Structure 1
């Protein structure tokens, strides 16, 4: 297999610690998945699915950003829950633990990446990305957004038994390695005989940050964020709606093995490419299933309202609240949380909730210093017009 791969391999402009080049090949299975990603990543699913049209787009983007921020943090050891992370970000409350701070930093980093998608990659952008990712979490705060020093012991160890898995390149080589990385990331129009598939380019960026380990901490989070930057810059807009870390978190051992196999088998990145294209495909299939499920849920709520006094009365944001409340009675919704989830003004968010309160489909209660709207236990019956006087 090694001989076959070397015979048809493509050299990359990156060298390992011994001065040997990294390379990869494209076996049929890799070409097949790359083709599938190309056909799916243009975003057509967002217009084919009623639940994802128009004003829904921002809500799905925010959901994806939160999931990626959460999963990428948990991969690096953050201790928190998805629900706590979601509520923290949507309610804009301060983080209550180091795990929540990691999630919030990752969320801000993903927002930063979206803003920089139209810009060429520079060391300054990478430094700022790392600063955002690690703000308030490093033992030495001065190392946020700075390359590691020669005196810093930065290695990759097996968390189970402390076995040494990877020693990154010497710190003195990092500035030049970072310049090579940026040149590679920005070279989007090579000659035809040097064409590199855009998804391969993004995955190689991901790998090389992990291999170089240019920072004392936060390398994995920075690497995965740069993958998103590269995919968005190369017009794979559907990537805004998926979380690769959510898939990686299910099989972290395979993720680690893909890194190790690529390094140990003569710098053959084919292992990592196969792993990460599979991750992207699974994430995109998950999005398709998610959108289809959301469409069915909204249609079900609308069916409940048919023939009642509520038919045609509520907008898509209110239908989402009713769907959630019917599924989870007792759910609490704040004006700020609703505003941030749907990217609307405070006035619009409050009007949505007050309208549902006036329709007797939500209750209002005191929560701490503020008010929250609560889904009653019999919301489904109310929606179906079974409550006396509702139809």
Structure 2
């Protein structure tokens, strides 16, 4: 089982290879928790995530006879890019298996870093099966995204930087998929009893809470989350044992929590992160009381590789979750001037109309009715509720979507 010395050795390997990513103070989160909160910006790391740390630490230790056959990996995208870049820096051929629905920017970046990419399966676990077959067939070294001590030690260098830069840190809040980042960070601070690591998973892909309760890795019952970077079906044995040994708790967050967190990081911190990278922030926002305490709390923004199309959907979801976006179907009488009156009423209520559709036929419409589909910007949950209330008072029958 790795410990602080192994993480320190990995840091020596990574010197000059990875960026020492910045720490940014978050006033919004500090005010919410009543204590200093800093963001560890691994979204600004090379390849856009912390994964280059573990990938390079693993590949740099390969003996010459193994390097000759190249390396193979499986990933939703961030590990793929880390392996591709690390292999390129070390002069090794790399093949990466990625799910069929992997983010197009992540696929393109992995290819640009020099890896051969194969798109297979519907999940990282399926892609990993293909990677194992490739390794058995060709002799290539399988670079697992989280289930190897060298990989986890490399990821743990994130914590090493934090404790060096923030002497009074007491809490490290970390997104969890397979568990390599949280495990490596727990190993890095194992000799610092005043520092605890807290993991965070998406509730729709949460294998760790049940696994820790059972005392062994247990498959997730579902994999349904926008946070593809942490949608892992089964914990790795290496990180699982580290998290269990160091009593690392793993919380879960909803899709709404993730959306709100991504929106807050973009608006208040001016940082672009992917949904998985915002999981730690989501936990702080959803349950601030769980993170009360003294000292500085550091939350890791683990990655920033987000597909622009996904970002558009997530931002809209976040606006809805924050009460700042409202979709309505309003049935009104089919006569001139009614649409104009509705729009005027919305304007008077301070709801900014961004889209309108006039629907003349539908199963919910009477012969003398039309449906108005309207999307408006609101100013929060109270304003959203007020708009609906005032519309009903004025005789409308709004159905909020």
Query: TM exceeds 0.5?
Result: no
Higher relative contact order (CA 8 A, sep 6+): 1
Name the TM-score class by shorter chain: under 0.3
Q: Normalised by the size of structure 1, how large is the TM-score? A: 0.23
